[in-house]
Structure 1
Amino acid sequence: MMETFDEPRLAAAGPRDLSDILERGGIVYLPRCPVPLPAAADLDVLRNELPAHMKRKNVSYHPEGDRVSGLATTAPVYATTHRVLTRLRKDIAAWTRQVMPGLMQGADIGTCSFRPMEEAGRAIDAHKASELIHIDAGAYGATNGNRILRFLVNANPTRDRVWASKGDFASVFARHAERAGFTGPGGHVGRLEKNLFDRLFSVLVRSLAAAVPMAKVLDSSPYDRAMKRFHDYLKDNPGFQAEVETHVEMRFAPGSAWLVFADGVSHGCLSGQYCFIWTALTPLANMRHPEYAPINVLRAAA
């Protein structure tokens, strides 16, 4: 499931080597983050000063509004947080375009976030808990079947970030589609393409977003709603969470980075503190292995 690319292997990689692994439900592990990390003084601010000013579990830079959510603009750490996240977002975008040009053509570069809280043992809504293994659904608006690519960096100076997985989307869906109500007696995937009402709603959201950029997160699609159904089922299902035979744990060392299609690999963060998370929507049309894309797995089951 996890493929390691140390510096020599990364330097020798072809333009589709990493993206082929990602499309097939793998995780690309980079023992040394290939983009410059923030300066030590800036990391100190984000680790030690930022949490006292946060309104949510993480802070995110949203390019459509050029602002950081989860943090008041009057907070003394706002300027540093904004500068760090915008620079890191730009650097990761440039790196991914360089090493995976075919995958990243026309990609929508989304948010760049920082999570300073310890993930283990957090008392929050189960549907928002990172510890519970899940498949990501939606990414700040409608994906319409495009893929959710994440680039993560463990910014903890001393501790690993520990993940768990129970397989890629196709295998998890095959095991749980009937119990989740997608197949079998009374089950249904439902339509996955937008109808007239959906298209009109998307036009309305785009019009609103022209005046209020953050309004784009209101958009949705039948596919994204189906994925949210499956996301919630996985988090709400003790049987799935307790599966032993499919359970795999992975450790990401301090200063390392990893890439994953978060809609295509089940994952949960068992423990870890201080992590950057960058997101892009990559066009479904760019996939060399479209049969692994969740929307096509759902279409095959419909």
Structure 2
Amino acid sequence: MSSITPIRVYPDSTWSEDGPTRGVEAVIEAGEVLQFPNLPFVLTPAERKFLDPRWADAKAKNISVRWPANELRGAAGDAADLAALQAMIGRYAEQSEALALRLFPHYRGHLRRGNSSFRTVNVAGRETSWRKDDTRLHVDAFPSNPMQGTRLLRVFCNINPNGLPRQWRVGEPFEDHAKRYLPKIGRPIYGSAALLEMLHITKRRRTESDHLMLKLHDLAKADAEFQRSSPQARVDFAPGTTWVVFSDQVLHAAMGGQYMMEQTFYLDAAHQQRPEASPRGTLERLLGRELR
């Protein structure tokens, strides 16, 4: 079995075009986590008051801005404060996009901005179902939002004001993980994808690659022995640290931490430097056939 997912550390201290690191598509497509320990997202003095869970709607997991509408969701407060909070999250989106385009020039013109999130809640101790429990190692896949092979590129930053790290576990390489569980996964039931879409249970048609990714997600989270003894390592991201990862490829688990920014980007696998290195490409190679 291959070694666990490595962490690649870079010295960048700026989000802008003049940073030293660029052209590292091959690194992230190989399933590595890019870590920037000297790249903080700096809040203004007025924004520091938002480092408090009271700004989050009690029903929401995260405070987020949805694009392209620039719509704030999951927040509670008066109009002026909400506008300031929205501007803060929007600034993180802009800086994250500038960073991503510098790191991955091959993706220019193909990255699509997804949700921008501000997570105020402490990961540890949050009650949820096993399927939604992100303290368990998993690759990202969503029951109601089929990605149809689209990649999930995420830019995280720990903005904790109390010196507390964001605690992660990272697990085995995606190919090893797929080999572990593929023998247990059958093909989707004929007609089920069309029915789920017709009933609006899914936002679009669930492909066979979505079916496989969901099964990999669920089988790993439900497997207590895998969670306990599979190849894995703990990684602590200190405050002021930014990290970038394809979260549909890297097995990860969030074990602790509070106050984090997150920006999601979507990328069609066809626009990678090596499309065959995507999860869908890996699954097709292991199965010996094209996934539809």
TM-score after normalising by structure 1: 0.80
Equivalent residue for 1:41? 46
8 Å CA contact retained: 1:32, 1:256: yes
Aligned mate of 1:32, from 38, 53, 58: 38
Cα drift, residue 284 of structure 1: 0.8
Equivalent residue for 2:172? 167
SS in 1 for 2:157: strand
Within-5 A mapping of 1:277-296: 277-296=262-281
Higher helix share: 1
Unaligned segments of structure 1, at least 5 residues:
183-187, 206-214
Cα drift, residue 73 of structure 1: 7.8
Within-5 A mapping of 1:213-292: 218-222=203-207, 223-244=209-230, 246-292=231-277
Equivalent residue for 1:13? 21
The alignment covers a number of residue pairs equal to: 277
Equivalent residue for 1:130? 134
**Structure 2 Cα separation of the partners of residues 72 and 282 of structure 1:** 32
Q: Deviations over 1:229-257 (max 9, x none)?
A: 2212211111211125x021111111110
TM-score after normalising by structure 2: 0.83
Q: Deviations over 1:229-288 (max 9, x none)?
A: 2212211111211125x0211111111100000001000011111111110011212222
Cα drift, residue 66 of structure 1: 2.5
Equivalent residue for 2:89? 85
Q: Deviations over 1:15-52 (max 9, x none)?
A: 2x2x2111001000001226x5331321322435414x
**Structure 2 Cα separation of the partners of residues 225 and 112 of structure 1:** 26
8 Å CA contact retained: 1:154, 1:275: yes
8 Å CA contact retained: 1:105, 1:286: no
Q: Which amino acid aligns with 1:20?
A: A
**Structure 1 Cα separation of the partners of residues 107 and 224 of structure 2:** 36
**Structure 1 Cα separation of the partners of residues 63 and 238 of structure 2:** 22
Cα drift, residue 3 of structure 1: 0.3
SS in 2 for 1:44: helix
8 Å CA contact retained: 1:143, 1:281: no
Worse-matched range after superposition: 220-229 or 93-102: 220-229
Q: Deviations over 1:162-203 (max 9, x none)?
A: 11022222121112222xx22xxxxx2459xxx9x85xx69x
**Structure 2 Cα separation of the partners of residues 140 and 275 of structure 1:** 25
Aligned mate of 2:110, from 95, 106, 111: 106
Unaligned segments of structure 2, at least 5 residues:
1-5, 288-292
Q: In structure 2, do the counterparts of structure 1 residues 190 and 165 end up closer, same or farther at CA, with 3 Å as the change threshold?
A: same
